[in-house]
Structure 1
Amino acid sequence: MISAVRSLPPLNRAGLALLAAGLLGVAGVVFAQIEGSDRGIAPIDSTSSYEVGGVAVDVAARDADAARTAGWRIAQRKGWQLLWSRTNGQPVSAAPSLSDSTLDSIVAGIVVEDEQVGPRRYIARLGVLFDRARTGQLLGAHGQGLRSPPMLLIPVMWSGATPTSFETRTEWQRAWARFRPGGSPIDYVRPTGTGSDPLLLNEAQAGRPGRGWWRMILDQFGAADVIVAEVAVERSWPGGPILARFTARHGPDDVVLDRFTLRAANGDGMAALMDEGVRRMDEIYSQALRDGRLRPDPSLVIEEEPAELSDEAFAGETMAEESPLTAVNYTVQVETADANALTVAESSLRAVPGVRGVDTTSLALGGTSVMRVAYEGEISGLRIALQARGWRVDEGPGTLRIRRAAPTPAPPPAPGGTPNQ
C-alpha cells in the first residue's frame, strides 16, 4: 500500500514556541472549564414543605393506573399520620383522620423513591410532600416545634485516605443536596460548593479550632454555628461491598455527637446508602437539639469592645449621668412567603424604638429569610416590642424567629340572630 505524505514547511524556533504557547493556553482553558464544571450542587429548597419519606405501599387493582392511584392515596394517609406523630411526639394511632379531599389540598407532591408496576399491582416506596402553610394549621400547637439557629453544614467524605468536602462533587454532597429538611428542627445552611466554598469550607477548616476565622465564615454564610457531617467509605473492590462509617460533629472544637456504620452490597447501592446516612445524621442532630447539646458556641459571637472615653468626654457641667446604649447585632429569622412579606417585616423592625439598622443577609422568598438587626438593648426587649406589634416570636441564643400571628376568628352570633352588645 502506498501512502501519500505531504511535507510541511519547517518551523523556526520562534514559530515552535508560539505554537506550544497556543496549545498550552487552549489546554489551560479546557482544563479550567472541566475543573469548574466539576463543582457545585444546588441544594433542594424545601422550606415551604414538610416531607415524610419511606412510605411503603402494596396495592392490587383492576389495572396498573388504578393500582398506582390507590397506592398514592394510601401513601398520603400514612404520610399524614407519620408527620402528625413526628411533630406532636405521640403514637401514629393517635393522629386525627383526614378525608382524601383534605389531604389532596395539603399534599404538594409525591416523591417516587422506588416502585414496581405490574398489570394489576403497584409496589412502591414513596415520599409525601405537605404544603407547610396549609398543613401547619392542622398539626396543632406543636406544629412549629423546636427550631435550631442557622447551622452551617460541611459534608466531608473520606475515600482512599483522601478527605473531600466541596473540591469535587461527591455522593455525600449529592445526598445532602437532595435532602429535604423542611420537616427537620435543624435550620441547615447548605453551601452550593461554587466560588470560594472549596477554599473556605474544606476538611482542614472543619478541624481548625481558631475562632477568628470561623467568625468571618459564619458571618458570610449567615450562620450561628457549624456542624460537620463526616463519612469514611471503604470498598472491598471496585463495584463490590461498601462499608461507610458516619460521624456527626459539632462546633469548632469538633465535638462528636454520635457515630454509626452502614453497609451496601455493591456500588449500585451507594446513593441509597448515602441517603440513609443523611437521614440518620439528621436524627442525631435533632436529638442533640432536644437534649440541649446542639447549642451555638458563645465564643463565636462577635462582641464589640466598648470605646474608651477621653478626658474631654467628662468635661462640662451638663454631663449626662447615663451614657447611651451601644447597638448590638441580633439575628432575626422571618418567614417570607413573597416580596411583600419581606417588606412588611423590614418596615416593622425599623419601626421598633431602639433599632438602628436592619440588613437582610439571606433572602429566601417562599421560605425563611435571615436579617441582622442592630438594637440598643437586650434581645428580650426586642422580642417584647415585636410581640406588641402582632408578631409571634420564638427566642433562642442571640436569635429571634418571627412570623405573623394568625388572625383571631370573629365570635359566633348570639342565639336568635341578634348580635352581642
Structure 2
Amino acid sequence: MAHTLSLSRLPRPSLIFAAVLACAAGGAALWAQVEGERGIAPIASTGDIDIGGIEVDVRGDNAEDAREKGWREAQRKAWEKLGGPSISDSQLQGLVVAMVIEDEKIGPRRYIARLGVTFDRGRAGSMLGASGRGPGSAPMLLVPVTRSAGAYTVYEARNPWQRAWAEYQTGSSRINYVRPSGAGGDSLLINFGQTGRRSRLWWRNVLDQFSAADVLVPVAHLEYQWPGGPVEGTFTARYGPDNTYLDSFAMRAESPEELQPMLERAVARFNTIFERALAEGKLKPDPTLDLGSVEAEPALQRLIEIGRTALARERAAAAAREQAATQEAAGETPAAPDQPEQPVQATTYSVQFATPDAGAFDASLAGVRAAPGVRGTAVTSTAIGGSSVMAVTFTGTLDQLAAALRARGFAVRQSGNSLAISR
C-alpha cells in the first residue's frame, strides 16, 4: 500500500456515498445481508498533478543522505516525464506538495525506491503552458469487479481491488468518477449481477441513486499460483449498460506482498484507457438510459394542456349546438349552454407496487406510465424482492387513478391518499 507524505496539507474528509433501500417486509433479513465491515470510503480528490512509478537507485554518505538524493532525483524525473521546462531544484521543490512512497528499500548508504510525485496544479500549470487537461467526462459510476477462485465480488466484502480504487487520487483525471464506499445498501444495489442486466429502466434508477450518467466496469481477474506465490492478473475495461468491451491487459505480482502495488498501477492504466476512450468519443452517456424516464418540458406540457382544453371546449360547444337544434325542432325552449369544464389540476400520489424481480419492476413502471391521465412517474424507493414505491403525477382524483390502473390490468388497493398495486 502506498504511503503519502504531504508537504503542505492533509487530505480533506472523505465524501460519503451511500444508497438507502426501503423494503416493506423482511427488514431483519435485509439488515443481515448488509451488516459487517465492507465499506472503504474513497479519499478526497484534488486537482493536483500526480506522477507515479518513478524508479530511483542512489547512493549517499548515509541512509538519510541517500534518501534525500533519491527524492530529489524522483522529482526531476517526474518533472521531465510531465514535459516541464528546465528549472532549478529549489524551484522544483516549491511545486511539489507530496511524495508518495510506493515501495522503498533503505540501506546504510543506498536508497532504492519506487516513488510518486504530486505537483500543485495552480503553480505548475503556468510553467506547463496549461492549467487543465481538456474537458472532463460526465459523472461515471464505478463498479470494480474482482474475479478470484471462481467468485465475483464487488462490495460484498472488502477486497484489494476495491481498496486500490478507493485510494486512487482522481483529481488530475479527466474522468469524473463516482465511487461508492460499498457500505450499507451499496452491496445490494451494486453487484456483479447488475453488470449483466440490460434493462434501461433498472439501470436508470441505480444511476439516479448516485447522481451518475453512465457506468464504468473495471474487471480484475486474479489467479494465485500457489499460497504465498505469484499472482497473475488479467484486467478488462468495460463500460455502459451493455457491458461494452474497451481494452484489456495483464500484470504479474511475484508475491502477495506485491499485489496491492500491482493493483495501484493497474488502476492508473485503467484511467489511461478510460481517458483515451473519452477522447475518442466512446464515453458519452448512453441516450437510451433516459428512455424510461422521458418527460415533456414544462413549456411543451403547457401547450399540450392548452390544446386539450381548447378541444374540450370545441366538443362542449358542438354538443350544445346539437342539443339546441334538437330542442328547437321539438318546439322546446333551448336551455342555456353548459359552461365548459375547467381543466383538472395534476396531483402527485404515492403508489406502492410489488417487485419480485427486475422484470416485474420494469413492467409495473411501464404499465403505470401508459395509463391515461398519468403525466409522470418517479421511483422513490426500490426493493427488488419486496415492494417498491413510486410517485405518480396524475390529472384527476385518486379514485380516477385507481380506475385507470385497473383498466391496465392491475389489482388496486386504496389506503388513505395512496394506492398499492399488483398483477
TM-score (norm. length: structure 2): 0.60
CA distance in 2, matches of 1:60, 1:34: 54
CA distance in 1, matches of 2:196, 2:250: 22
Alignment deviations for residues 181-203 of structure 1 (CA, whole Å, 9 cap, x no partner): 22222111111101211011111
Residue 269 of structure 1 deviates from its aligned partner by: 2.4
Q: 2:165 aligns with which of 162, 165, 176?
A: 176
Q: Would the aligned equivalents of 1:136 and 1:144 in 2 still touch at CA under 8 Å? A: no
**May I ask how many residue pairs the two structures share in their alignment?**
276
Q: Would the aligned equivalents of 2:54 and 2:115 in 1 still touch at CA under 8 Å? A: yes
Largest Rg, 1 or 2: 2
CA distance in 2, matches of 1:69, 1:34: 50
Q: Would the aligned equivalents of 1:62 and 1:120 in 2 still touch at CA under 8 Å? A: yes
Q: Would the aligned equivalents of 1:185 and 1:286 in 2 still touch at CA under 8 Å? A: yes
Residue 109 of structure 1 deviates from its aligned partner by: 0.7
Distance 1:33 1:110, change over 3 A: farther
Letter in 2 for 1:72: W
Alignment deviations for residues 263-309 of structure 1 (CA, whole Å, 9 cap, x no partner): 22332322122222212212211211122222211122453235332
Distance 1:56 1:236, change over 3 A: closer
Letter in 1 for 2:142: L
CA distance in 1, matches of 2:240, 2:268: 20
Letter in 1 for 2:267: V
Alignment deviations for residues 150-176 of structure 1 (CA, whole Å, 9 cap, x no partner): 111000111122111001001110111
Corresponding residue of 1:286: 275
Corresponding residue of 1:81: 80
Corresponding residue of 1:104: 93
Residue 61 of structure 1 deviates from its aligned partner by: 2.1
CA distance in 2, matches of 1:183, 1:211: 31
Residue 101 of structure 1 deviates from its aligned partner by: 2.8
CA distance in 2, matches of 1:313, 1:100: 78
1:311 aligns with 2:282: no
Secondary structure of 1:174 counterpart:
helix
Distance 1:239 1:284, change over 3 A: same
1:213 aligns with 2:202: yes
TM-score (norm. length: structure 1): 0.61
1:277 aligns with 2:274: no
1:298 aligns with 2:287: yes
Corresponding residue of 1:127: 116
Q: Would the aligned equivalents of 2:34 and 2:185 in 1 still touch at CA under 8 Å? A: no
Distance 1:106 1:303, change over 3 A: farther
1:53-92 counterparts in 2 under 5 A? 53-83=52-82, 85=83
Corresponding residue of 1:225: 214
Farther off after superposition, 299-308 or 189-198? 299-308
Secondary structure of 2:143 counterpart:
strand
Residue 142 of structure 1 deviates from its aligned partner by: 6.5
CA distance in 1, matches of 2:172, 2:67: 26
Q: Would the aligned equivalents of 1:147 and 1:187 in 2 still touch at CA under 8 Å? A: yes
1:136 aligns with 2:125: yes
CA distance in 2, matches of 1:173, 1:102: 37
**Does 1 or 2 have the higher relative contact order (CA < 8 Å, sep 6+)?**
2
CA distance in 2, matches of 1:238, 1:34: 30
Unmatched 5+ stretches in structure 1: 1-28, 86-94, 317-421
1:189 aligns with 2:189: no
CA distance in 1, matches of 2:186, 2:117: 32
> CA-atom RMSD, angstroms?
2.4
Indicate the percent of aligned positions where both proteins have the same amino acid.
Answer: 49
CA distance in 1, matches of 2:173, 2:284: 16
Unmatched 5+ stretches in structure 2: 1-27, 314-423
Secondary structure of 1:263 counterpart:
strand
Letter in 2 for 1:133: G
Distance 1:82 1:303, change over 3 A: farther
Residue 79 of structure 1 deviates from its aligned partner by: 1.5
Runs of 4+ residues deviating >4 angstroms: 32-35, 313-316
Letter in 2 for 1:304: E
